Amino acid sequence: MAGSNQNIALRITAIYALVGVLWILFSDWLLCLAVEDPRVLTRLQMGKGWAYVAATAALLYWLVHRDTAQIRRSEEDLLVRNEELTVVEEELRQQNEEFIVAEEELRQQLTENYESRKKLFEANEAMTAILQASPVAIVALDREDRVVVWNRAAERLFGWLEEEVRETPFSLLHPDDAKDGKRVCASACREAVLHDIEGVRMRKNGELVSVSISTAPLHDPAGLNAGMIAMFTDITDRKSAAENLRESNEKYAELVNAVSGIVWELDVESFRFTFVSQRSEDILGYPAEAWLADPGCWERSIHPDDRPWVLAACRATHGEGSGRELEYRSLAADGRIVWLRNSFMVVEDANGRVKLRGVMTDVSRRKKAEEDLSMLNAELEQRVAQRTSELEELNRELEAFSYTASHDLRAPLRHIEGFSKALMEDYYDTFDGAGRQHLDRLCSAARKMGQLIDDLLRLAMVSKGEIIRRPTDLSMIARGIVQDLMVSQPERMVAFRITDGIKVNGDSRLLQVAMENLLVNAWKYTEKRKDAIIEFGVDEDRGQTVCFVRDNGIGFANEHANNIFKPFLRLHRTEEYEGSGVGLATVRRIVERHGGHVWAEGREGHGAVFFFTLDN
């Protein structure tokens, strides 16, 4: 501060001295040149002196004022600098404290860095373990596409060990897919991340494997591209499954389109169709696309009279597995009325959405047939009523015939038979041989006439009346009939083979009559055989139970098999075998009344077998 003030004083003194010397030298010289009068010169010199004093005083004032202001500013600057130095000193003190804190933080950071490096090492070890344990093949490549990472899954997938491929170039895809491989690499180098790129890769043994590749770029610490990482997933099974699914879908589509009806699926929540087969256009004239795009297309196609209850029935169907079957009228695109049978059920798809799935079948022909059938039934009912009336009249006539046969015909027959017996008892010895023979024939004819009347009445009985079905044991019936036959002719030796447990559902009274006729028929036509065998059993023919009665009697020619069930038709003379020819006709009538069928097979001299079925 003192040195500065001294410099200012010296500067002012020098300036003052310089100005004074220059004023004295030049002012006197100029006045002498300009004024010759001594008095004027003296006055001018005096004025000049006072002017000099005033000028120098003003100059001195200006200099002192200027330098004093500069000194003041310098002092102020010095104060400011002192304050700044104080602030800087405070800042330095604070920085020193911060340095101490930073040093402590640095020490902590070094400790944390050590822990971080330790954790990073552990994480690296864990990442390496995960990398090796990953079921996905993982391969890392540098910028030159050389292998730097090759996990065990990659070894299993491609067949090369890590030491065999490390630092060697590796192509992501098969050479045939080189274009895609370049696209993958280029995309990775451009910082692009790709997912699920499907392609083909060759294994070590030359086998091709379908893979799905996902790639991502790798960067160095400076943020520059350092290569890429690729993950390979074996999708051979998935591709095979997808191919099988595609083939299955194609077959399903072919099958659906082959169905004669409209196969459809409807989402219950939105009440919109999610699938409609192409048959919709064939049956109603509306393409499947129209049903899918416009839910009102189907609703408008329903006949207005049926539309409310059909839609209500579809909306009211709930519960998985439940279903409905509706028949209603639809309006085709050309205005035709088409009857549809809509069969559907409630299902739940893989996403948990409730759907209706069904088939709409054109039943217009059936409906037309039902209408025709209804008209025909009405006509038939009228005919049946007329025929019923006629049958009632015939039944009355049959009853009258039965009454006549049982009373009017039997009365003279009893007289003939009675008087014949009286002649036999009272006058038999008086007749000669021819008379006795005529009398024997007369008695025999009367007995045959009585048997014929009984058989006709029995045939009439089985042709009328209601069938009362109940479980019936035919084996037990057969054994009862056989026992009666053996009692009637105990001298005969016949081997009976009756299968146990043959049970049917039928009228036991009528079945008793049928079994009697069949077994008596076999008993009669085996009487001339000493080794006679009569068998009653059961067979299966195309799932139907067939009962049979077989014998080894005289049999018959097979060409007569269809005629032996006709009334009064006999294949043998009465003198050889007695009978009226009505028994087998009665059997056929009983079987037919049970909804069955009867037939016979025979061979002359080798017996016969009679088959029959019953509608149980």
Q: What percent of the chain has pLDDT over 90?
A: 9
User: pLDDT confidence of 472, banded at 50, 70, 90?
Assistant: very high
Prediction pTM value: 0.35
Nearest-angstrom CA–CA distance, 272 and 358: 14
- Kindly report which listed range (124-133, 173-182, 545-554, 579-588) carries the lowest average pLDDT score: 173-182
Cβ atoms 514, 593 nearer than 8 A: no
Q: Is the pLDDT of residue 80 over 70?
A: yes
Handedness of CA 283, 288, 289, 294 (dihedral sign): positive
**DSSP per position, 452-513:** HHHHHHHHHHHTSS----EEEEHHHHHHHHHHHHHHH-TT--EEEEE-TT-EEEE-HHHHHH
User: pLDDT confidence of 429, banded at 50, 70, 90?
Assistant: confident
Summarize pLDDT for 291-310 with one digit per residue, the tens: 888 878 888 888 999 999 98
- Kindly report which listed range (400-414, 420-434, 457-471, 547-561) carries the lowest average pLDDT score: 400-414
The confidence score (pLDDT) of residue 5 equals 57
Cβ atoms 502, 474 nearer than 8 A: yes
Cβ atoms 218, 188 nearer than 8 A: no
The confidence score (pLDDT) of residue 503 equals 92
User: pLDDT confidence of 577, banded at 50, 70, 90?
Assistant: very low
Neighbour-count burial for 544-575, b at 16+ CB within 10 Å, e otherwise: eebbbbbbbbbbbeeeeeeebbebeeebeeee
Q: Is the pLDDT of residue 415 over 80?
A: no
The confidence score (pLDDT) of residue 397 equals 61
Q: Is the pLDDT of residue 12 over 60?
A: yes
List 497's β-bridge partners, or say none: 535
Position 224, amino acid: L
Radius of gyration of the chain (CA): 66
DSSP H helix total and E strand total for the chain: 16, 17
Query: What does the H/E/C string look like for 283-337?
Result: HHCCCHHHHHHCCHHHHHHECCCCHHHHHHHHHCCCCCCCEEEEEEEEECCCCCE
- Kindly report which listed range (459-468, 548-557, 593-602) carries the lowest average pLDDT score: 459-468
Average of per-residue pLDDT across 586-604: 87
Q: Is the pLDDT of residue 562 over 80?
A: no
Summarize pLDDT for 515-541 with one digit per residue, the tens: 988 998 899 889 888 889 999 999 988
Q: What is the DSSP letter of 158?
A: H
Burial of 330 (0-12, 13-18, 19+ CB in 10 A): buried
CA geometry: angle 402, 404, 407, nearest 5 deg: 105
Residue 126, both tokens: 């864990």
Give the number of other Cβ atoms within 10 Å of residue 584's Cβ.
23
Average of per-residue pLDDT across 569-596: 69
Contacts of residue 473, Cβ cutoff 8 Å, sequence gap at least 6: 501, 502, 503
Handedness of CA 242, 247, 248, 250 (dihedral sign): positive
Contacts of residue 330, Cβ cutoff 8 Å, sequence gap at least 6: 284, 301, 302, 303, 337, 338, 339, 340
Pairing of strands 494-498, 532-541: parallel
Q: Is the pLDDT of residue 117 over 80?
A: no
The confidence score (pLDDT) of residue 408 equals 59
Q: Is the pLDDT of residue 239 over 70?
A: yes
Q: What percent of the chain has pLDDT over 70?
A: 77
The confidence score (pLDDT) of residue 134 equals 77
Nearest-angstrom CA–CA distance, 569 and 581: 5
The confidence score (pLDDT) of residue 406 equals 55
